[in-house]
Structure 1
């Protein structure tokens, strides 16, 4: 009888251990196959970055992901993407940002195009009727107090603007600032109809609020940009559903500009983004594959 009880106890222990082993294997397999649940966006201090980021974030939340935003300048965003600290950047300007794509090749990739043919470059008010190209500035730098107003240091536009100054031999200094600081200075001078030259781009409300023109040039600077979504190369495997959605992403320049205006007029960014989603559900379904 004792022998039978002993054998029964041994059998029970073996069964328990086997069950524990099975649970461990299932847990390990489940962990190995788990999908990344948090998507981190890099957000530059540009008004054009906000609407696409908010829309994509809300859609990903509806898909079951947690969304985190990290504010940084462009250079830091690309560095974060390359290290895997960030997953997505919704506002890459190509070819302006091509240097970053080349630098971090293999760690980041262009996943989709938000909208093509975004205009960008050195900009003046239209009341400067005889300044229509960069070539028209030669010898007239003093009219602008020898200053060109740009955005933050490290941005692709800032780097290219320095290249323009060097290529043309302009007697000018680039004054780097935030987007808001640059526009405040430009607006102050435009209010007096004084000469001013600064960095402009669409989509942006500056073209809605002021009569502006982007200067042409014969050297190929500031080509028309394609605005693209950049992801780190691990996202495709770590969060395939999120990656698939982002690979189908697109939005019109006019829609982005309209949302920027609403936000600048006091609209909450999330509410403006949700309004776009509600009004474009067919497009959202197409991007999410539903």
Structure 2
């Protein structure tokens, strides 16, 4: 009798597992209280601080609401390829109409634009706030006041190409030394110069936490060599609105001005170098609770 009983229990357990497997294979998925699917995969561009900040913020918000959020980091090409095939659910860092145009042209019919949450994305040439000039038109004549140097970022960056091909010839800056190394190197030079009260010229972009951390200003670009400001958009996979109807609405209404973004980026990236962002973001949320609560109304 004991053997028969144990055999029956084993059979029932096996049957239960089989039914569970069938249920998971039938497309059924766990949901949160508002009816959205529970599991969510946000893809993040490697090295793009504004996207990391926005993604970590939304992860913190959604985790508290019962979602299970996974952040996966990748470069631009696999991001859009994966989004178009449904391997990812959403990306929060698409720059339009210029920077990511080629990917939207290629995959746009297999994705959904949820709208821009920031309209101030722009390539810049910045100087210390008390620098004696305000325009790129005046830089060549005052090059000696800046050590005859322009401090850049990575040699392969789009900003580096624009500076080399458009800004330098456009404003006659060929006699200045254009030094490229890395974003970290540029920021180190910027920090040192502003701390010492020295003049410095760097290639930069908005939004970036450096605008919150250091006393800097953008040089005017009357010839438009750096291009116009872009919007930072969220893009989802197809049918995202069916699987996440509530979150879809939240992301479509998501707005974050540059000053708010700078403050979040500054505490995340201008600290001790830790990449454990959860406690940092949690503290920032506590200091900006009204804004954060408004994101999910």
Q: Is the 8 A contact 1:151 1:182 kept in 2?
A: no
Q: Quote the offset at 1:230 in angstroms.
A: 2.6
**CA distance, structure 2, for counterparts of residue 166 and residue 205 of structure 1:** 23
SS in 2 for 1:42: strand
Name 1:69's counterpart in structure 2: 71
Q: Quote the offset at 1:198 in angstroms.
A: 1.7
Gapped regions of structure 1 (runs ≥ 5)? 1-19
**CA distance, structure 1, for counterparts of residue 286 and residue 197 of structure 2:** 42
Name 1:7's counterpart in structure 2: none
179-188 vs 143-152, greater mean Cα deviation:
143-152
Q: Quote the offset at 1:199 in angstroms.
A: 1.7
Name 1:31's counterpart in structure 2: 26
Q: 1:273 aligns with which of 261, 281, 287?
A: 281
SS in 2 for 1:106: helix
**CA distance, structure 1, for counterparts of residue 237 and residue 179 of structure 2:** 32
Name 2:51's counterpart in structure 1: 49
Gapped regions of structure 2 (runs ≥ 5)? 1-14, 30-36
**CA distance, structure 1, for counterparts of residue 165 and residue 243 of structure 2:** 39
TM-score where L is the length of structure 1: 0.68
Q: 2:236 aligns with which of 216, 231, 234?
A: 231
Q: Is the 8 A contact 2:120 2:207 kept in 1?
A: no
Deviations 1:177-233 (A, max 9, x none): 543222123444554735533223234234432333343232363323323223333
* CA RMSD across the alignment: 4.0
Aligned residues: 265
**CA distance, structure 1, for counterparts of residue 82 and residue 182 of structure 2:** 21
Q: Is the 8 A contact 1:123 1:215 kept in 2?
A: no
Q: Quote the offset at 1:54 in angstroms.
A: 1.4
Matched, 1:184 2:179: no
SS in 2 for 1:64: coil
93-102 vs 140-149, greater mean Cα deviation:
140-149
Q: Is the 8 A contact 2:166 2:225 kept in 1?
A: no
Q: 2:135 aligns with which of 132, 155, 171?
A: 132
Name 1:17's counterpart in structure 2: none
SS in 2 for 1:198: strand
Q: Quote the offset at 1:151 in angstroms.
A: 4.8
**CA distance, structure 2, for counterparts of residue 124 and residue 286 of structure 1:** 35
Q: Quote the offset at 1:149 in angstroms.
A: 0.4
Deviations 1:52-97 (A, max 9, x none): 2112112222343322222344555445434544333323333442
Name 2:255's counterpart in structure 1: 250
Q: Quote the offset at 1:234 in angstroms.
A: 4.9
Q: 1:259 aligns with which of 264, 267, 287?
A: 264
Q: Quote the offset at 1:29 in angstroms.
A: 9.6
**CA distance, structure 2, for counterparts of residue 69 and residue 219 of structure 1:** 36
TM-score where L is the length of structure 2: 0.67
Q: Structure 1 residues 88, 216: CA separation in 2 closer, same or farther (over 3 Å shift)?
A: same
Deviations 1:9-41 (A, max 9, x none): xxxxxxxxxxx9xx98x9569723545723233
Q: Is the 8 A contact 1:87 1:232 kept in 2?
A: yes
SS in 1 for 2:156: coil
Q: Quote the offset at 1:270 in angstroms.
A: 1.9
Q: Is the 8 A contact 1:94 1:226 kept in 2?
A: yes
